[in-house]
């Protein structure tokens, strides 16, 4: 039976056109009609010619476009997933930011509390926590599972069209302008041409390749970002109790420090190490010993001078001299000598050095005694010897006072002695721990007070006001 050519304008509008129309046997390019033999190789030859003539039918392009469409749909789905995941990522970033803020606040509380808003922020974390990582992560996992299902559906759908002839035929029919009008024969013919032409076979094979590409497409990178943030967040504080525990861990060492401040710590704050304490205490012993001996000798000098004045007035043939004149003659110099000034400011040390020079080293300023002529005028030998012995005793006392003052002055010039003056100033029963730190370690005091602000309480006040013992 011969196949009659049907032009497009001759088709019954109630019947859908064949997708392969426009080329080959049904197209305008057909130049010759050949009867199909009833058997033998003629039928195969005519069939191959028919397939070759319909090589350019659009079915292959439809399959290729379907693969491209599904890849684009996967991209759309991934884009939608990324948009859904972005707020979750921001939530995790906010948690990490809060954790880093808490950690930095505990590392440098003095800096943080300078801004009242930081104190409020820390208080919020301390009372309400920083955030929950599990609930948003589960939300992300759910969305990720949905995306994975969609990705698998897109890939398996292409593989079904590739493997199942009925699925292939149904797909091609679905691409018609009006699929319901296509006859079964036309649908079978479309499938036959798609499966038989080289372009169709390549397009069908390409469905599998595209399906593999879809299935192998990596999940959006935002998933890895969130997972990394979650891992980091799990290692830091999240609940309010976590923040409180970290804060307590920073507060307790400072409480212990304040509670255990002792003499050795005051030495350290004064710049004297533990190894230097015995050296310092030896210097102080030298100073105290020399100071005590110096004061005893000064007292002895004053006593001898008074005795000399009294005795010389009594023994002197100059009856016109008054007791006041003799007392003034043997009085100590007017320059005050304050041994305690050795450990005070440098100016006071200099004044003391001048006092030593004026009283002990400058012979012109030393208390005067009777001259040789005056002694010779005293007729009684025993009285002369008594006055001479008193003068000798006084000179020995002056020399000893001079020696002891030199020891004390040298000790006062030692750098460790100057540091001891700081220790001596603050290691008193009247000094509070706050006063001690305020003068010798203001940085630590600022940290302690800043930590107290972060606690929202006053754990340090009782300790700071406690006096040293």
CA 15 to mean position of chain CA atoms: 77
User: What does the pLDDT read at residue 351?
Assistant: 52
Q: For the segment 247-302, what is each residue's pLDDT rounded down to a tens digit?
A: 999 999 999 999 999 999 999 999 999 999 999 999 989 888 888 888 888 888 88
Instruction: Write down the mean pLDDT value for the chain.
Output: 81
Quick check: 168 pLDDT over 70? yes
> pLDDT-derived band of residue 443, with 50, 70 and 90 as boundaries?
very high
Q: Which residue has the higher pLDDT, 177 or 239?
A: 239
Non-local CB neighbours of 112 within 8 Å, separated by 6+ positions: 104, 105, 118, 119, 122, 450, 454
Cα gap 215→158, rounded to integer Å:
11
User: What does the pLDDT read at residue 21?
Assistant: 42
Cα gap 36→94, rounded to integer Å:
77
Percent helix, strand and coil across the chain, each to the nearest 5 = 75, 0, 25
For range 394-418, the mean pLDDT: 82
- Please answer whether residues 152 and 73 qualify as being in contact, where contact means their C-beta atoms are separated by less than 8 angstroms: no
Task: Indicate left, alpha or beta for 271 from its phi (over 0: left) and psi (-120 to 50: alpha).
Answer: left
User: What does the pLDDT read at residue 400?
Assistant: 86
User: What does the pLDDT read at residue 130?
Assistant: 97
Quick check: 41 pLDDT over 80? no
User: What does the pLDDT read at residue 440?
Assistant: 97
Q: Tokens in use for 206?
A: 């390409």
User: What does the pLDDT read at residue 421?
Assistant: 87
CA 38 to mean position of chain CA atoms: 91
Domain limits, the chain: 8-53, 59-243, 277-426
Radius of gyration of the chain (CA): 55
Q: For the segment 300-333, what is each residue's pLDDT rounded down to a tens digit?
A: 888 887 887 777 777 766 655 555 555 555 555 4
Quick check: 3 pLDDT over 50? no
User: What does the pLDDT read at residue 12?
Assistant: 41
What separation in angstroms does the CA of 77 have from each of 73, 143, 148?
6, 11, 10
Q: Tell me what percent of the residues of the chain surpass a pLDDT of 70.
A: 77
- Please answer whether residues 408 and 342 qualify as being in contact, where contact means their C-beta atoms are separated by less than 8 angstroms: yes
User: What does the pLDDT read at residue 367?
Assistant: 53
For range 173-190, the mean pLDDT: 88
* Phi, psi (rounded to 5 degrees) for 87: -60, -35
Cα gap 38→168, rounded to integer Å:
30
Q: Tokens in use for 82?
A: 């990324």
What separation in angstroms does the CA of 80 have from each of 66, 84, 89, 219, 284?
21, 6, 14, 12, 81
Cα gap 122→127, rounded to integer Å:
9
10 Å CB burial of residue 102 (0-12, 13-18, 19+) is buried
Q: For the segment 65-84, what is each residue's pLDDT rounded down to a tens digit?
A: 999 999 999 999 999 999 99
For range 111-130, the mean pLDDT: 97
- Give the angle 381-385-388 at the CA atoms, nearest 5°: 140
Q: Tokens in use for 112?
A: 């943080």
> pLDDT-derived band of residue 457, with 50, 70 and 90 as boundaries?
very high
User: What does the pLDDT read at residue 9?
Assistant: 40
User: What does the pLDDT read at residue 374?
Assistant: 63
Q: For the segment 357-383, what is each residue's pLDDT rounded down to a tens digit?
A: 444 444 444 555 566 666 666 667 777
User: What does the pLDDT read at residue 33?
Assistant: 34
Partners of 432 in the β-ladder: 467
User: What does the pLDDT read at residue 276?
Assistant: 95
User: What does the pLDDT read at residue 379?
Assistant: 66
User: What does the pLDDT read at residue 118?
Assistant: 97
Q: Which residue has the higher pLDDT, 162 or 1?
A: 162
Non-local CB neighbours of 92 within 8 Å, separated by 6+ positions: 133, 136, 226, 229, 230, 233
For range 129-149, the mean pLDDT: 95
Quick check: 427 pLDDT over 80? yes
Cα gap 343→413, rounded to integer Å:
9
Q: Tokens in use for 105?
A: 């606040």
Cα gap 207→209, rounded to integer Å:
5
Q: Which residue has the higher pLDDT, 354 or 197?
A: 197
Q: Which residue has the tokens 């469905």?
A: 207
User: What does the pLDDT read at residue 373?
Assistant: 64
User: What does the pLDDT read at residue 330?
Assistant: 57
């Amino acid at each position: 039976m011969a196949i009659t050519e049907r032009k497009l304008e001759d088709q019954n509008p109630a019947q859908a056109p064949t997708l392969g129309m426009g080329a080959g046997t049904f197209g305008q390019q057909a130049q010759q009609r050949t009867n199909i033999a009833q058997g033998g190789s003629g039928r195969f030859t005519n069939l191959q010619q028919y397939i070759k003539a319909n090589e350019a039918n659009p079915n292959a392009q439809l399959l290729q476009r379907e693969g491209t469409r599904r890849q684009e749909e996967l991209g759309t789905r991934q884009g939608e997933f990324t948009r859904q995941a972005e707020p979750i990522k921001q939530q995790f970033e906010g948690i990490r930011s809060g954790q880093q803020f808490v950690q930095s606040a505990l590392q440098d509380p003095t800096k943080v509390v300078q801004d009242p808003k930081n104190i409020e922020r820390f208080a919020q974390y301390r009372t309400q926590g920083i955030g929950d990582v599990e609930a948003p992560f589960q939300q992300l996992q759910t969305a990720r599972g949905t995306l994975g299902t969609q990705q698998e559906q897109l890939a398996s759908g292409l593989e079904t069209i590739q493997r199942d002839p009925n699925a292939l035929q149904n797909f091609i029919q679905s691409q018609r302008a009006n699929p319901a009008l296509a006859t079964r024969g036309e649908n079978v013919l479309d499938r036959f041409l798609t499966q038989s032409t080289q372009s169709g076979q390549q397009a069908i094979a390409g469905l599998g390749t595209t399906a593999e590409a879809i299935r192998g497409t990596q999940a959006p990178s935002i998933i890895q970002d969130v997972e990394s943030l979650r891992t980091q967040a799990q290692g830091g504080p999240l609940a309010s109790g976590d923040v409180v525990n970290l804060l307590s861990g920073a507060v307790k060492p400072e409480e212990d420090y304040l509670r255990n401040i002792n003499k050795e710590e005051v030495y350290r704050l004064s710049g004297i190490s533990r190894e230097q304490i015995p050296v310092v205490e030896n210097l102080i012993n030298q100073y105290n010993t020399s100071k005590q001996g110096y004061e005893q000798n000064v007292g002895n000098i004053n006593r001898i001078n008074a005795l000399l004045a009294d005795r010389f007035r009594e023994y002197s043939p100059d009856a016109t001299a008054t007791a006041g004149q003799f007392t003034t003659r043997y009085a100590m110099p007017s320059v005050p000598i304050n041994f305690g000034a050795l450990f005070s400011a440098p100016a006071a040390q200099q004044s003391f050095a001048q006092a030593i020079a004026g009283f002990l080293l400058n012979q012109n300023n030393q208390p005067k005694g009777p001259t040789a002529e005056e002694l010779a005028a005293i007729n009684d030998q025993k009285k002369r010897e008594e006055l001479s012995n008193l003068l000798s005793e006084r000179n020995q006392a002056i020399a000893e006072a001079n020696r002891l003052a030199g020891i004390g002055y040298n000790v006062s010039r030692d750098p460790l002695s100057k540091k001891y003056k700081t220790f001596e100033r603050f290691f008193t029963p009247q000094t509070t721990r706050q006063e001690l730190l305020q003068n010798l370690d203001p940085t630590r005091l600022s940290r302690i007070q800043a930590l107290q602000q972060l606690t929202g309480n006053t754990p340090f006040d009782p300790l700071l006001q406690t006096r040293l013992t």
